[in-house]
A and B are shown apart, each in its own frame.
Chain A
Amino acid sequence: MHEAITHTAVAVSYLWLIPALPALGVLVNLSLGALLGKGAVGFIAPGTVAGGFGVALYCLVQILQLPPGSALEQTLWPWISAGNLQVDIAFRVDALSAVMICVVTGVGFLIHIYSVGYMHDDPSYARYFIYLNLFTCAMLILVLADNLPLLFVGWEGVGLCSYLLIGFWFDKEANASAGKKAFVVNRVGDAGFLLGTFLLFWSLGVGTHSLSFQDIAAHAKSIPLDTVTLITLLLFVGATGKSAQLPLYVWLPDAMAGPTPVSALIHAATMVTAGVYMIARLNFLFVLAPATLTVVATIGALTALFAASIGLMQNDIKKVLAYSTVSQLGYMFLGVGVGAFSAGVFHLMTHAFFKGLLFLGSGSVIHGMHGEQDMRRMGGLRTYMPTTYRTFLIGTLAIAGVPGLAGFFSKDLILAHAFSSSPVLWLVGLCAAGMTAFYMFRLVFMTFWGECRADEHTKHHIHESPATMTVPLVLLAVLSIVGGYVGLPEMWAWGNRFDAFLAPVFAAAQGGEHHMEMGLEYALMAASVGVAVGGIALAYVLYVARPELPGQIADQAAGAYDLISNKYYVDELYDAVLVQPALKLSNLLWRVVDVGIVDGIVNGSARVVGASSSFWRRWQTGNVEHYAVSMLFGAVLILVFFAWHSS
């Protein structure tokens, strides 16, 4: 039904402005930030993002007016040209990119505004906004890029900014090591991404290639199945790193060490969705590898369930939201994995609204509570912080999948597609949905309901946040409600406009449309609503009606309770399986080759390399004779190798 779509591109000259504006903010604040003072910095940084948002909206309007399947293009200059490789610095806005740039700049702008209030007393105010603008610029390059190498520019850029912002308050040891963990885990993902790119380039065959997405799409069908499966799997490894999926999710909960608006922008609304975006962008490649898609969907569903179950028992307000983010990202991967690319992107968008809202709301709570993050010392905040409470409740209803709010439509769409692909995946997703409703309402009840459990001094100072913080909350709350109405179920009112808008981008993926019986669709919907209400009710019983129950349950099912509240001991498992053996190996090598010059210290997962590193340091005795002998040794080896190789 999409054969008639023509892919026309309109050359325009203003796309560069979108990433350039935040980049300008970086330059101005970097060079003049110290002179300008907080007022100007806090005006310039959000202002440039607002400018980007303006251009992004203009692009969206243009795309909507052009015939379906059209795109805006701007080639700035030829970038890498070598032999039959011809990569340009080029931006392209089609329906998918238009959605992404609007989300990144729109939500990004609100979070910048919020940060003006939240970071007001921080001594490193200018540095914070430089990083934040730099991040926005890199994220925009990522979603605007017309080709894979340029996408990688953004990919690395957002990773670097994320790293710098996790460790923003570096005076705390834990923050620095959280940054390091994020960094090392993301390296694993990046290796997959880079190798996938090179393998793709290698397998595209003869002829000049630009590695642009159209170029890849045009030649993808000629790649053998095994190769395409390997390429997509490698790229997916990159996605699991960036988007915190099993087994590389471990960095995201620790990343909450950064300032809360950063958690909202980078570790919820935008950067962590880059993996989903990348797969959606390369949908034509992934549909050629059904095995990879099965892996994607399975990992997604498992991550959704796994992370949701950890979320059940966390007591740190940001940790709950962090595991929730991992879980919701799992939904998105489940969506794209079952071929429902537009549903995955739809959830990406609604999630940006409500999770951005929830994180900012938690930031408002933490701000009001003077840095307190433990929900066991909160409670009763709805009387102290009414705006925060109301907006937070809307976000919670949205993520829990209560009908009428954004999360309901997008989550339901994914689950419906999952059902037609595999009822097992659907069931896993459904369980996770029930857990989501439970842990989110547990959070609301523990934080905003009941008696305040804070000490008298803190209680005395609890206050509602200033307008720069509450206005973004209200706007995001509105979006968390209305954002879902662009993608209603097919049988309602105007149906799924969002899907129709994105359809041309995913034309390759929509060979067989799933047309579900209306009765079945309503049944699935009822099941979703049922588990959501069930989860909420259970949370109400346990944390409002009979608050003594959770303790009793914990006593009776101590084993399971320990397992989950300790996050399934995954960090410990990684420590035991990866870090400790590496340490042992390192120690062993140490003792075997030790000549008494032990002074190298490398920590964490770098121990493996550290061990061999110290081996090579031994080589470095400083003694000229040793060096000469080693050269002689090398010369002999080369001669022997030649003799062996040439014979």
Chain B
Amino acid sequence: MLYRMINPPEISWIAILPVLLLSATAMLTMVADLWTDGPDREGLGWIGLVGLMATAIAAVALWNTKLTSFAGAVVVDRYGLFFTLLFCVAAGLTLLMSMSYLEQTDIRTGDYYSLILFSTVGMVVMATAADLIVVFLGLEVMSIAAYALAGIWRSQVRSNEAALKYFLLGAFATGFLLFGIALLYGVAGTTTLTGIAQTASGATAEQRTLLIAGMALMIVGFGFKVAAVPFHAWAPDVYEGAPTSVTALMAVGVKSAAFAAFARIFMHTLAVMSPDWSAVLWVLAVLTMTVGNVTALLQRNIKRMLAYSSIAHAGYLLVGMVAGGELGGSAILFYLLAYTLMTLGAFSVVIALGRRGQPNENLEDYAGAGFRSPFLGMAMSIFMLSLAGIPPFGGFVGKFYIFSAAVKSGYIGLTVIGVMNSLISVYYYVGVLVRMYMTDGGVEITQPSSRPYLFATLVVAVAGTIALGLFPSTLFEVARQSFLALG
């Protein structure tokens, strides 16, 4: 009989506790939706928040362990847990801002909350995957939920368009990734990361060729998810069209999850091949930073501008991968956290400026906003300055870590290009400040203090962005330990 032939793998339920809790929460919101009447579904958001909190607690509780499950296909180490916590923060803030945002949209379906949570489940799976098949599984769970979320505002044509584009191109990119996985499997005879690492360290010339081809295709797949040039073209259209809270989740969560798997596979599993892949990533980093920043200069829709900004930030993160080593790896982790907080904050301000039937997403709409709502003005100023890498905010320290790592690894040219890029970026980030403080006009603003969920999101993001700028060393130490847990 068939079941006798299959050896069931040992499963450590403790290890996958965060994923279990998160999945259970997602399903619970689906079920609870049946008992929710009326247009107000904030209760579902609360369930999600509690679930994320439980997940985070479980992740913290597992911090000092290193467990594997499913015969080594899932590894719960500090690296994976760091990202689990990062996703909890990202998803939590997304839920929180959604609870205010959905009021100004026609999205009245409870699926919205469960999809966000399912997408987060995929992210956690990606970050804790120790097998290429599991990476792929996580990626698909995350992406399919994200495709659906992008199109969830069904009455909006641009939301539908965004979903379709994202889905078509995402499927295309996944093809590349899968092909790359297949090639690596072909070389190593296994999809486990440890097996691939062993093969890579003693690879023959023939095997190397196949490994390189596999790496190239995986770079395309991950490059798409992190929105690296030239695989970025979808991002501006999708970011602009998707509901703003979903855009925020895509910009921080999806990108971070892709980097989690990307960095684990390339900086750890394929570390011996780094002379090969780092040259390619060098070029991608330069292209991504430059195209992202230069194109952002011309944008007049804030969501598109932030889309290009997020492309540029993918470029800085690639610089961290190129720099490599303990410093480069920890810098990426730290940078992703700072990036998550300031980007989510910026999108919250975009939401705060919008009103029902009046998205107010053009830069002109920001005219004089700094005076009409001093709190929003201050918050947006902090996010923009931080994204631009101006001290003393988290973004500056993150860039400082990344570029220090690049300098220490001898990539002076890359650092010069990176610094130049971050100087170009100041122009469009500060452009928002100029609109807010040096022009008149603009739109009427609902004071954020009258929208408690959004207000809470902003307060957390502001506090986090400042704290990461002033007290980065503790978190950097956590990031360092997490990266070192890769072994």
Contacts and interface: CB of A to CB of B under 8 A. Distances in A.
B213 A613 contact: no
Nearest to B228: A634
Interface stretch (A282-290, A522-530, A616-624): A616-624
B176 A635 contact: yes
Contacts of A600: 298
A360 interface: no
Interface stretch (A37-45, A107-115, A370-378, A639-647): A639-647
Contacts of B231: 631, 634
Contacts of B217: 635
Interface string B220-258: 100110000111011011000000000000000000000
Interface stretch (A79-87, A304-312, A489-497): A79-87
A620 to B, nearest CB: 6
A185 to B, nearest CB: 12
Contacts of A624: 164-165, 168-169
A613 to B, nearest CB: 5
B208 A646 contact: yes
Interface string B187-231: 000000000000000000000110011011101100110000111
Interface residues of A, number: 65
Nearest to B331: A82
Contact of B230 (A127, A190, A202, A633): A633
Interface in A579-601: 600
A117 interface: no
B168 A628 contact: yes
A310 to B, nearest CB: 28
A642 B212 contact: yes
B108 interface: no
Interface stretch (B83-91, B122-130, B414-422): B414-422
Contacts of B169: 624, 627-628, 631
B155 interface: no
Interface string A69-85: 00000000111111101
Q: Which of B164, B208, B209 counts the most A-chain CB atoms under 10 A from its CB?
A: B209
B390 interface: yes
Contacts of A198: 403-404, 407, 415, 419
B253 to A, nearest CB: 22
A179 B434 CA distance: 10
A600 B304 CA distance: 14
B284 to A, nearest CB: 8
A612 interface: yes
Contact of B297 (A183, A602, A646): A602
B440 interface: yes
B427 interface: yes
B106 interface: no
B427 A179 contact: no
Interface string A83-111: 10100010000000000000000000000
A191 B400 contact: no
B449 interface: no
A213 to B, nearest CB: 18
B32 interface: no
B277 to A, nearest CB: 8
A513 interface: no
A199 B219 CA distance: 31
B419 A191 contact: yes
Given A635-B176, A635-B220, A642 B298 contact: no
A626 B472 CA distance: 42
A561 interface: no
A634 B230 contact: yes
B233 A201 contact: no
A575 interface: no
B287 to A, nearest CB: 9
B186 interface: no
A85 B405 CA distance: 10
A606 B427 contact: yes
B419 A195 contact: yes
Contacts of A622: 237
B430 to A, nearest CB: 7
B392 A627 contact: no
B357 to A, nearest CB: 24
Given A198-B403, A613-B294, A616-B295, A187 B426 contact: yes
A171 interface: yes
A641 B283 contact: yes
A639 B400 CA distance: 32
A356 interface: no
B473 interface: yes
B208 A645 contact: no
B444 interface: no
Interface string A335-350: 0000000000000000
Nearest to A88: B473
B13 interface: no
Given A191-B419, A613-B294, A641-B283, A630 B437 contact: no
Contacts of A626: 233
Nearest to A130: B374
Interface residues of B, number: 76
Contacts of A614: 298
Nearest to B378: A30
Interface stretch (A8-16, A149-157, A261-269, A531-539): A149-157
A217 interface: no
A79 B291 contact: no
Interface in A376-400: none
Nearest to B479: A82
B40 interface: no
A443 interface: no
Given A81-B476, A201-B404, A641 B224 contact: no
A237 B237 CA distance: 40
Given A167-B434, A630-B233, A642-B216, A156 B390 contact: yes
B12 interface: no
A164 B378 CA distance: 14
Interface in A158-210: 160, 163-164, 167, 170-171, 176, 179, 183-184, 187, 190-191, 194-195, 198-199, 201-202
A164 B435 CA distance: 11
A278 to B, nearest CB: 16
B291 A616 contact: yes
A122 to B, nearest CB: 14
Contacts of B283: 641
B298 A613 contact: yes
Interface in B421-454: 423-424, 426-427, 430, 433-434, 437-440
A638 B472 contact: no
B470 interface: yes
Given A79-B473, A82-B327, A638-B220, A620 B237 contact: yes
Interface string B140-175: 000000000000000000000000110011001100
B24 interface: no
Contacts of A201: 404, 407
A624 to B, nearest CB: 5
Contact of A631 (B230, B392, B419): B230
B472 A79 contact: yes
A639 B213 contact: yes
Given A616-B295, A635-B216, A30 B173 contact: no
Contact of B473 (A81, A127, A156, A617): A81
B327 to A, nearest CB: 5
A242 B191 CA distance: 56
A77 B471 contact: yes
A610 interface: yes
Given A195-B419, A620-B237, A633-B230, 13 more contacts: A149-B391, A149-B400, A167-B434, A195-B415, A202-B412, A624-B168, A626-B233, A627-B234, A628-B172, A631-B173, A631-B224, A639-B216, A645-B280
A-B pairs with the 8 shortest C-beta distances?
A634-B230, A170-B438, A627-B233, A153-B391, A600-B298, A616-B295, A81-B473, A202-B407
9 contacts: A78-B473, A82-B404, A83-B326, A157-B391, A187-B427, A202-B407, A602-B298, A624-B165, A638-B216
